[in-house]
Structure 1
Amino acid sequence: PALPNLTGKTLADAIAALEAFNEETGAAVTWTVQDFVVGDPIAAGKVVVTNPPPGAEIQFEQSITLFVGVLSE
């Protein structure tokens, strides 16, 4: 199955989408969250990038990294 586009979602919405993805596909993906420094307050708290990218074919029990925007100090 292809990874849904999580870019621009809040972390809570992205996790909910991944849980739904697991239920629909049985892919049993896991995820980790990393901070991604952004200069735009609109991007803060939202998924900026995912690895693998949206649309990538996902393997069973693959780990997804969610990079979530945090404002630079």
Structure 2
Amino acid sequence: MSSEFHLLSEKVAQLAAMTQSLRRENADLRLNVSALTTENAELSRRMDEAHQRVAALIEKLPVTAPTPADNEEETA
């Protein structure tokens, strides 16, 4: 009986240790998710800004009519 109690006590201790370990790991993962979410938002914002700058530059490009030489290249 005493050995069964001792074995059960060891298993409870292992379970408690594993629970604490998983809680720490979960907390670390939550911090990582938070940091990555913030980084993702920043990168998304930067991509939007870059897209707007590229779109503004494209609008500034002069529009030229195709020349006969351009048409020949397309048919070749």
TM-score (norm 1): 0.23
Task: Flag the structure with higher strand content.
Answer: 1
User: Could you say which structure has the larger radius of gyration?
Assistant: 2
TM-score (norm 2): 0.22
Considering Cα pairs closer than 8 Å and 6+ residues apart, tell me whether 1 or 2 has the greater RCO.
Answer: 1
Task: Flag the structure with higher helix content.
Answer: 2
